[in-house]
Amino acid sequence: MDIFANILIGLETAVSPVNLMYCFIGVFLGTFFGVLPGIGSLAAISMILPVTFYLEPTTALVMLGGVYYGAEYGGSTASILLNLPGTPSNAVTCIDGYPMAQKGKAGLALFMTTIASYIGGTLGIIALFVLSPIIVAWALVFGPAEYFAIMILGLVAAATVTQESPAKGLAMVCLGLLLGCTGMDLETGTPRFEFDYIELYEGFSFITIAMGLFGVSEIIFSVKTSVGKAFNQEISFRSMLPTREEWRRSINPMLRGAGVGGFFGALPGTGPSIATFVGYAIEKRVSDRPEEFGKGAIEGISSPESANNAAVQTAFIPTLTLGIPGSASMAVMMGALLIHGIQPGPQLMGDRPDIFWGVAMSFWIGNIFLLILNIPLIGLWVRVLKIPYHLLYPAVIVLICVGVYSFRGSGFDIAMVLMFGVLGFVLRSLRFEMAPLLIGFILGPMVEDNLRRAMLIFRGDFWAMVERPISGTLLLITAMLLAYTAYQIFFPKSKLTVEAPKNESN
């Protein structure tokens, strides 16, 4: 397929007035929640999710996508002005962004992060356009064995690669898979683990899990966030503009950051957060003034922000082309599509090119909206930062409750949100990560379906799956990952702790 034809198909869908409007609403709300410390991009997407049920699937994804990358854009604002990352992947931006603000260069830092985000996002979208058809062409020959193998790889990678404790990450995947078993068995129709609730015959509702785990439990932990820090720097448009020297110093870090981010975003198990750390580390290494890092080096914000937003865009590649979400945010996106009856996967691009390319194109339009929202309107977001958190979170609780209730007018669903909120609170207190759980839950039924079909085809011979080239390779990589993880568990290195963001909140 011709790439320009795809762009045209995409444009046609993306510039329809309805999609443009929801794209704008999405990025606006995303930036709003992203700016607020304590509400990450995931909680933001989960809260907006119920509203999108009333929209066309394309429009729903356009809006949710906008919320996601809007939150990642907005997250840097709090990092720079308050030294509190708005979302976990903006944590690195604090290192040099906050010192810049203290030196009176807050405007410049905000301007450069916006430009870096835009460049990273745009390059990520180009990668999405170029790589997706290649992956789809390759994936069309996939049978159940290959799907099973790639899902298992995705699950193991999500649980082990970036986790502090791989055993606990895997435990969360297991719990997600077990929760995914609830409901009617796909083949026999036997209701399983429904705990005698007729409401659970269709399984736990994805929306209650996402809102409970990411909305409610995150709020409980962030009630203590105080945003009341004094911030009284005037940000004029003049103060935002970089000098020629500052441009020159930023352009290469932005491009390098986009490369790093694009790579890590598309891989399963890694994502924007790790991309920002790697982007920062590379800049520090290649710089001829490494001593300036941590004291307000402009390279220290342009590279990670570009990496962050490139990763956000390329994360859609495996989600849309293979139906394998690499991160919790992507799992929520995929859940939204599934609720609309659309199965992301290699068929999506061929069957519904309007959805695929329209959504991809709308991301780019959304990035332009964000440029407008974040440069001329920065004063608005600075004011949003002054809303005290103790006034805000009760409203968010109500928003979650109404959202869930509006889905099908059921008090049972609110009870489920509460249950998953409590579960999330307990699990977070025990230092478990929520993302592997959600990915396990989303992929669980598909893993089961594909494994059963593969075993039927191969007459119960598991080795037949290992002997096929693609599934064999994927299973081998998975086995190597598990072996390496086991090695790490049994022979831990003397603690080499990297300063990593704690979890979805903070």
Partner 1 sequence: MKSDYFVSVDYIAAALIFGIGVYYFAGSYEYEMGSVKHMGPGFLPRAYSVCAIILGVLIFFGALRQKAISRSSIDPRYLRSFIMVTLAIISFAIFIPRLGLVPASISAVVLASYGSESFKLSTAFGSAVMVSAVTWVVFSLLLGLPIPGLIGF
Q: How many residues bind partner 1 (CB under 8 A)?
A: 63
For residue 139 the two structure tokens come to: 């994936």
User: Nearest to residue 159, comparing CAs of 472, 420, 466, 486?
Assistant: 486
The answer to whether residue 425 forms part of the interface with partner 1 (CB under 8 A) is: yes
- Which is closer to partner 1, CB of 33 or CB of 316? 33
Q: What is the CA radius of gyration of the chain?
A: 22
DSSP 3-state assignment of 241? coil
Tally: H helices and E strands in the chain: 24, 2
- Contact between 158 and 327 under an 8 Å Cβ cutoff? The reply is yes
The answer to whether residue 223 forms part of the interface with partner 1 (CB under 8 A) is: yes
Pattern 345-384, partner 1, x by CB under 8 A? ----------------------------------------
- Which is closer to partner 1, CB of 160 or CB of 367? 160
The vertex-376 CA angle with 312 and 244, nearest 5°, equals 80
Q: Which stretch binds partner 1 (CB under 8 A): 63-71, 216-224, 257-265, 326-334?
A: 216-224
Smallest distance, Å, CB 59 to partner 1?
Answer: 14
Question: Which of residues 23, 177, 378, 384 is near partner 1 by CB under 8 A?
Answer: 177
- Which is closer to partner 1, CB of 296 or CB of 436? 436
Q: Phi and psi for 236 in degrees, rounded to 5?
A: -100, 160
Smallest distance, Å, CB 414 to partner 1?
Answer: 4
The answer to whether residue 171 forms part of the interface with partner 1 (CB under 8 A) is: yes
For residue 261 the two structure tokens come to: 């981010």
- 287 by Cβ neighbours in 10 Å (0-12 / 13-18 / 19+) ranks as middle
CA pair distance 320, 431, nearest whole angstrom: 31
The answer to whether residue 415 forms part of the interface with partner 1 (CB under 8 A) is: yes
Q: Phi and psi for 183 in degrees, rounded to 5?
A: 115, -175
Contacts of 4 (CB under 8 A, 6+ apart): none
- Which is closer to partner 1, CB of 352 or CB of 453? 453
The answer to whether residue 221 forms part of the interface with partner 1 (CB under 8 A) is: yes
Q: Which stretch binds partner 1 (CB under 8 A): 87-95, 186-194, 238-246, 288-296?
A: 186-194
The answer to whether residue 17 forms part of the interface with partner 1 (CB under 8 A) is: no
- Kindly give the residue spans of alpha helices, DSSP state H, lying in 389-468: 389-408, 411-429, 435-457, 462-467
For residue 250 the two structure tokens come to: 């930023």
One-letter amino acid at 142 equals: F
- Contact between 322 and 139 under an 8 Å Cβ cutoff? The reply is yes
- Contact between 306 and 257 under an 8 Å Cβ cutoff? The reply is yes
For residue 276 the two structure tokens come to: 């920002």
Smallest distance, Å, CB 264 to partner 1?
Answer: 26
Question: Which of residues 15, 135, 168, 338 is near partner 1 by CB under 8 A?
Answer: 168
The answer to whether residue 167 forms part of the interface with partner 1 (CB under 8 A) is: yes
Pattern 449-478, partner 1, x by CB under 8 A? --xx--xx--xx-x----------------
The answer to whether residue 500 forms part of the interface with partner 1 (CB under 8 A) is: no
Chain contacts with partner 1 (rule: CB under 8 A):
51, 54, 165, 167-168, 170-171, 174-175, 177-178, 181, 185, 187-188, 190, 192-193, 216, 219-221, 223-224, 388-391, 393-395, 397-399, 401-402, 405-406, 409, 411, 414-415, 417-418, 421-422, 425-426, 429-432, 447-448, 451-452, 455-456, 459-460, 462, 489, 492
